[in-house]
Amino acid sequence: METPEQIRDRILARFPGSSVAMVLNPGPAAQHSLLLGADHAREIAEFLRDDPALRLDFCSNVSGVDWLDREIVETTKIPTPGPVAGPAMVAEQRTRRLQPGYLEAVYHLYSMELRHGPVILRLRTANRKDQVALPSLTPVWRSCEFQEREVFDLFGIVFSGHPDLRRILMWDEFKDHPMRKDYVEPDDYEWEPTPHGDVLAKAKRHYPASPPAAAAKGEPKP
Enumerate domains of the chain plus CATH numbers.
4-66+102-169 (3.30.460.80), 185-222 (no CATH)
pTM of the model: 0.80
User: Which residues have CB under 8 Å from 166's CB, separation 6+?
Assistant: 149, 152, 172
* SS3 assignment for 86-123: CCCEEEEEEEEEEECCEEEEEEEEEECCCCEEEEEEEE
User: Which residues have CB under 8 Å from 217's CB, separation 6+?
Assistant: none
Q: What is the pLDDT of residue 199?
A: 77
Q: What is the pLDDT of residues 56-108, one digit of tens each?
A: 999 999 999 999 998 888 888 887 766 665 566 777 888 888 889 999 999 99
Of 35, 49, 26, which Cα lies nearest the Cα of 138?
A: 49
In DSSP terms, 116 is beta-bridged to 111
Q: What is the pLDDT of residues 171-202, one digit of tens each?
A: 888 889 999 999 988 776 665 667 778 877 87
Q: Are 148 and 139 in contact, with CB atoms under 8 Å apart?
A: no
Q: How far is CA 122 from the centre of its chain?
A: 9
Average pLDDT for the chain: 89
